[in-house]
Chains A and B, each alone.
Chain A
């Protein structure tokens, strides 16, 4: 009994040490981000246009992701204003598809709020050349449909409801339309996999593979995010979203640009 008690005490001490270590790391990260954000405000003031212009100029990358996903892993991290800001930041850095994901579907329920914030951000940050299209399983919403814009940015607003269902739906469609493609022997599975990929849709829009996935979470727990599409995505765990801004996104994009080859090829 005494030995068991001793083992439990030692285990509790080890667990506390791990938690303390992780807490210290988290505090350090938050302090670092707070300092970076303060520096950003000091350099650029509160003008989001200036921040975006400097951010784009500062970051000269050979490789930029065309599709960036932001995953809000905890309900208390879901913020419509932050979601809109992230979509704009990603668009400025060259992304033409942005995905906003949360497990419980809170973002989907607040589409009009996100539209409002996007519209405000577009005006404040002088992003009039971008046509933001909010796409959900139920339809599309345009920020400003009156003018023709140079660049269209598709913003998927999704939850875990669509995450696996899109694969099942696509597979059913392939099974009905191309029953002879249902063959996985040898390299035949590649044709089936390509057909399923082409058939996965959010609403009427084909859902592509995100190159970068930013997860707002306190733990490195894999989110329930579109398992079919994340096979080659670079994941970045970013903590709290309110401390994630232009400079943090630049770090993420730099990290993505420097990633090496896949599968050793």
Chain B
């Protein structure tokens, strides 16, 4: 019986090893092939130039997965951001904007705000390390931080200034809205126009805004509001709401958003033409 028990344990181990090997050798490459195929098919239609994300639901994700602390949800959210960046750039999106931290978020608990600042600083140090910087330059990624930077800790401001390297050739843009609200952006535009002595018109405000209009605005966690993000630029953009939390956002969610955009594009083009004529 002992020998039978030992043989059964060994057989179980062997099966696990075979299954893992099969997964690595068959499933993973097959998933990569399927992904490449989907990207290839999707690129036959119009790929949106600019996609914006409201990354909502990190803390609820942490509670759902019983992670113990909401800060772990934010860390999971950053991992999801890295994956979404890669997916967007693989699909041919040229500009990506994410709502990292709102000016209103300063009203959250002190420890959570401190953690978010520390997380941003740590991740920026990783991004601006020599090997990652070289990779970013080779891929032509330009990172910009939009927001009231003077409200951020000095150490974070320094990291941001290092990350915002204008000298690198620009193929794709990554805008991180940190300490940002859309009203702040509009107010800054109004201030600039007034200081230059120009007339404050809606066209002048549109020209002074720091972010370009998105083609798709994506929000996770099922909420149908904009939370003071890209309010001025968002008109005539497709608004996609996914009823999942940000760390759960996957390549397939992005594919569904782009397919929906491609379907709505003729109507969007028609409305923009009508608005321009008006």
Chain A residues within CB distance 8 Å of chain B: 7-8, 10-12, 14-15, 18-19, 22, 103-104, 160, 164-165, 167-168, 171-172, 175, 179, 182-187, 189, 192-193, 196, 218-225, 227-228, 230-237, 259, 262-265
Contact = CB atoms under 8 A, between A and B. Distances in A.
Contacts of B245: none
B263 A160 contact: no
B195 interface: yes
B23 interface: no
Interface of B: 40-45, 59, 102, 104-105, 107-108, 148, 150-151, 181-184, 186-188, 190-191, 194-195, 199-202, 204-205, 217, 223-228, 231-232, 234-241, 259-260, 262-264, 267-268, 271, 274-275, 278
Contacts of B102: 263
Contacts of A184: 148, 184, 187-188, 191
B204 to A, nearest CB: 8
Contacts of A234: 224-225
Contact of A224 (B107, B199, B235): B235
Contacts of B183: 189, 193, 228, 231
Contacts of B204: 168
A167 B205 contact: yes
B71 to A, nearest CB: 13
Contact of B226 (A10, A18, A167, A230): A230
A189 B186 CA distance: 10
10 contacts: A7-B40, A11-B45, A22-B263, A168-B202, A182-B195, A220-B264, A222-B238, A227-B235, A232-B227, A262-B227
A232 B225 contact: yes
B105 A263 contact: yes
A192 B217 contact: no
A28 to B, nearest CB: 17
Given A14-B41, A186-B151, A231 B195 contact: no
Contacts of B260: 18, 22
B194 A182 contact: yes
Contacts of B236: 221-222, 224
A167 B191 contact: no
Contact of A167 (B43, B202, B217): B202
Contacts of B232: 164, 227-228
Given A15-B45, A18-B259, A185-B150, A160 B190 contact: no
Contacts, number: 164
B133 to A, nearest CB: 30
Contacts of A175: 190, 194, 200
Given A168-B201, A175-B200, A219-B264, A192 B191 contact: yes
Contact of B41 (A7, A185, A192, A221): A7
Most chain B beta carbons < 10 A, residue from A15, A171, A179, A182: A171
A156 to B, nearest CB: 18
A234 B200 CA distance: 29
A235 B150 contact: no
Contacts of A225: 235
Given A182-B195, A228-B186, A263-B104, A19 B240 contact: no
Contacts of B188: 184, 189
Contacts of A165: 202
A103 B276 CA distance: 12
Contacts of A7: 40-41, 43-44
Given A11-B45, A14-B42, A224-B275, 14 more contacts: A7-B40, A7-B44, A11-B42, A14-B259, A18-B259, A160-B278, A167-B202, A168-B204, A182-B195, A187-B151, A189-B183, A192-B191, A231-B181, A262-B227
Q: Which 3 A-B pairs have the closest CB atoms?
A: A11-B44, A164-B202, A231-B228
A179 to B, nearest CB: 7
Contacts of B262: 15, 18
Contact of B224 (A179, A189, A236, A265): A236
Given A172-B200, A182-B194, A192-B187, A223 B263 contact: no
Contacts of A185: 148, 150
B158 to A, nearest CB: 18
Contact of B234 (A179, A196, A227): A227
Contacts of B202: 164-165, 167-168
A179 B194 CA distance: 9
Given A15-B259, A103-B274, A167-B205, A235 B225 contact: yes
B244 to A, nearest CB: 16
